[in-house]
Amino acid sequence: MKPTLLVLAAGMGSRYGGLKQIDPVGPNGEIILDYSIFDAIRAGFGKVVFVIRHDIEKEFRSLVSSRWEKKLPVEYAFQQLDALPAPFTVPEGRVKPWGTGHAILSAADKICEPFAAINADDFYGKSAYALLAKAMTDNTDPNGHFMVGFPLKKTLSEFGTVARGICRTENGILQEVVERTKISSLGGGRARNDEGDGHPIEFTGDEIASMNFWGFMPSLFEELHVRFKTFLSQHGTELKSEFFIPFVVEELIAEKKATVRVLESEDSWFGVTYREDKPAVQANIRKLIGEGIYPDRIF
């Protein structure tokens, strides 16, 4: 059974200042997501599911579906603020989505096979998809999941802080993911996280960072159902709390209910956290086209 590509595209892009998921970066109007789908297809993925919001549906469908629906099955799921299990309701004043765990859970009725979960606005590279497709296809453990990791120094922005999950592994198995939300570049690959608590942390840049590129078995959905209810019972009245997928992964690891093998990609990650990142992304894509990794036109 071919794995599915699950694309998380419901983010609001507040730091970017616009709908970055469909902002062109390629020479013929390609968006980052086009390259992700292209890479996934040639790695052996058989279907793509997009998690979006209803308010961007028309624009998103007209652009993305028209390019890819003739090449592989395309389905949509919607991350809705009020899509909560009984008896929970949205607290008055909340506008923030419930996080990546809720986004993945939104696609539970669309997927029954192993799947990769990615951010729509992150460029992960050809080898990352090939690594993950092979690992998931060869996997026989229903509770054995995967994560593609990148060296932290390859994931920084020159234009502001970024949030990254810093990973601790043993023999290639993920032990812990610590979310650091204010990481800034110090130059030369080094970085510093400063949450404003008086305890800044410096990094060499060689640490493995999670960029929300996961390979999950479908058993994850039942865990998400249960754990999202627990999250809501504890944080459901808050206006900005989020149900992050790394938190769920950490709980499963701690409870010995799952293992997560870390696949280290040789590719450089790049993305558009800030609008100022866009020229660098465009230059990187032109370079990869020049090296023959991508054709001038991919659709």
Q: Give the pLDDT confidence score for residue 163 in this predicted structure.
A: 87
Phi/psi at 46 (5° precision): -110, -10
Task: Record the pTM.
Answer: 0.91
* 117 neighbors 28 (Cβ within 8 angstroms): no
pLDDT at residue 20 greater than cutoff 80: no
Q: Give the pLDDT confidence score for residue 205 in this predicted structure.
A: 95
Bond before 151 cis per omega within 30 degrees: no
pLDDT at residue 12 greater than cutoff 50: no
Least trusted range by pLDDT, from 6-15, 33-42, 125-134, 175-184 = 6-15
pLDDT at residue 170 greater than cutoff 70: yes
Confidence band of 18 (pLDDT split at 50, 70, 90): very low
The candidate with the shortest Cα–Cα distance to 142, out of 44, 259, 253, is 259
pLDDT digit string, tens, across residues 270-293: 887 777 888 989 999 999 999 999
CA distances from 131 to 34, 138, 173, 176, 229 (A): 19, 11, 15, 21, 33
pLDDT at residue 161 greater than cutoff 50: yes
Q: Give the pLDDT confidence score for residue 283 in this predicted structure.
A: 94
List the domain boundaries for the chain. 4-150+210-290
Least trusted range by pLDDT, from 18-27, 83-92, 213-222, 236-245 = 18-27
Q: Give the pLDDT confidence score for residue 19 in this predicted structure.
A: 57
Place of tokens 């696609």: 107
Average pLDDT, the chain: 91
pLDDT digit string, tens, across residues 234-279: 999 999 999 999 889 999 999 999 999 999 987 888 887 777 888 9
SS3 261: strand
Confidence band of 17 (pLDDT split at 50, 70, 90): very low
Percent over 70 (pLDDT), the chain:
96
| CATH 3.90.550.10, domain 4-150+210-290, yes or no | yes
Q: Give the pLDDT confidence score for residue 208 in this predicted structure.
A: 95
Percent over 90 (pLDDT), the chain:
73
